[in-house]
């Protein structure tokens, strides 16, 4: 196993997918050389990774048994990469599947993951305003990213 990224587990696939989506696309402000981090390999093409992508995208009853995001978080990333013309075996599988998010489902999912729970009673009063201001800044940055991908949100 190669460290720190084995590139053959759900966690690596999830993190790699996030890098490709949020740091790899041309319209992203925070461009980094993903190949320097993960090696020059498209994890979507690897046979043994198909099951992890299937689980993370909700093809089976259970999500992958590792530190990965919720199914809709994975689907948002796969939709964006598919629309951007990103290649890969699992992208093709996903595009043909019933798991592929329609435009309205994509917008609903993005709204869910970019909304802020302003009623959270557990935030200490002293930190409440600075934290909510910071969350709002991050939310606006995220929405700008999604708009740059052509998503009307």
- Residues that bind Zn ion in the complex, under the rule CB under 5 A: 6, 9, 12
Q: Which tokens sit at 36?
A: 């320097």
Least distance in angstroms from the C-beta of 36 to Zn ion: 17
Least distance in angstroms from the C-beta of 49 to Zn ion: 10
Least distance in angstroms from the C-beta of 104 to Zn ion: 34
* Residue 120 CB partners (closer than 8 Å, separation 6+): none
- If one counts every other C-beta atom within 10 angstroms of the C-beta of residue 74, the result is 27
Q: Which tokens sit at 26?
A: 């041309």
User: Where is 103: in which H helix or E strand?
Assistant: helix 103-114
Minimum CB distance to Zn ion smaller for 9 or for 110:
9
Q: What span, in angstroms and rounded, lies between the C-alpha atoms of 26 and 76? A: 17
């Amino acid at each position: 196993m190669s460290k720190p990224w084995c590139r053959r587990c759900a966690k690596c696939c999830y993190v790699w997918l996030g890098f490709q989506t949020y740091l790899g696309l041309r319209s992203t402000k925070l461009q980094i050389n993903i190949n320097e981090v993960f090696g020059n390999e498209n994890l979507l093409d690897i046979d043994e990774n198909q099951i992890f992508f299937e689980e993370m995208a909700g093809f089976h009853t259970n999500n992958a048994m590792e530190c990965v995001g919720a199914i809709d978080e994975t689907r948002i990333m796969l939709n964006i990469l598919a629309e951007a013309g990103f290649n890969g075996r699992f992208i093709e599988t996903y595009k043909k599947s019933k798991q592929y998010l329609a435009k309205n489902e994509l917008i609903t999912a993005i709204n869910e993951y970019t909304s802020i729970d302003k009623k959270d009673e557990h935030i200490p009063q002293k930190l409440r305003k600075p934290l909510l201001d910071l969350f709002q800044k991050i939310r606006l940055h995220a929405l700008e990213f999604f708009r740059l991908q052509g998503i009307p949100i």
